[in-house]
């Protein structure tokens, strides 16, 4: 498993009943909602405003998602998502995002989300301020 780094951000959640499916567990797709919210909180925590980057013409786009499910979350359970970033080559970033049930930090999901920076529809080397902030 990839090593977290000093900028690792932790975001806490509670399962809401409408996120459960007919098996009484959090639906598999819902974890991607959780991860997206945690990535945006991570970005805020390192001072990046992607809406502002967007207005300057730079967008971060999800290219690949790899999720390994370790344990289902049930109603009322609390959990934390750890998020940190790692540069990969010139144009890609990997967001490592692991979910742990609280309070015992039992692993729930090991996630890797690869993002690409785009400008006018083409993959670009991300601006230096972004590279510096992310890693």
- Smallest gap, in angstroms, from Cβ of residue 104 to its own copies? 18
Q: Is residue 123 part of the contact set for its own copies (CB under 8 A)?
A: no
3-state secondary structure the chain: CCCCCCCCEEEEEECCHHHECCCCEECCCHHHHHHHHHHHHHHHHCCCCHHHHHHCCEEEEEEEEEEEECCCCECCCEEEEEEEEEEECCCEEEEEEEEEEECCCEEEEEEEEEEEEEECCEECCCCHHHHHHHC
Q: Is residue 68 part of the contact set for its own copies (CB under 8 A)?
A: yes
List Cα–Cα distances, 91 to 49, 82, 95, 116, 129, in angstroms.
19, 23, 13, 6, 14
The phi and psi torsions of 8 (rounded to 5 degrees) equal -50, 130
Q: Is residue 9 part of the contact set for its own copies (CB under 8 A)?
A: no
Nearer to its own copies, 30 or 135 (CB): 30
Residue choice 4, 8, 10, 32 for contact with its own copies (CB under 8 A): 32
Nearer to its own copies, 32 or 58 (CB): 32
- Smallest gap, in angstroms, from Cβ of residue 6 to its own copies? 25
Nearer to its own copies, 41 or 86 (CB): 41
Q: Catalytic pick from 17, 21, 59, 132?
A: 21
Q: Is residue 58 part of the contact set for its own copies (CB under 8 A)?
A: no
Q: Which residues bind its own copies (CB under 8 A)?
A: 16-18, 20-24, 27-30, 32-33, 36-37, 40, 61-69, 75
Q: Which residues are catalytic?
A: 21
């Amino acid at each position: 498993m990839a090593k977290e780094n000093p900028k690792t951000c932790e975001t806490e959640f509670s399962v809401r009943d409408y996120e459960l499916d007919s098996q009484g567990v959090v639906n598999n797709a819902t974890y991607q909602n959780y991860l997206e919210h945690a990535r945006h909180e991570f970005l805020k925590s390192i001072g990046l405003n992607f809406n502002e980057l967007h207005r300057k013409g730079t967008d971060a786009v999800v290219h690949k998602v790899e999720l390994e499910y370790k344990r289902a979350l049930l109603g009322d359970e609390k959990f934390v998502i750890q998020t940190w970033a790692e540069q990969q080559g010139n144009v890609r970033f990997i967001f490592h995002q692991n979910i742990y049930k609280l309070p015992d930090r039992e692993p729930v999901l090991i996630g890797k989300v690869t993002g690409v920076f785009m400008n006018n529809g083409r993959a670009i080397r991300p601006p230096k301020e972004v590279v510096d902030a992310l890693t």
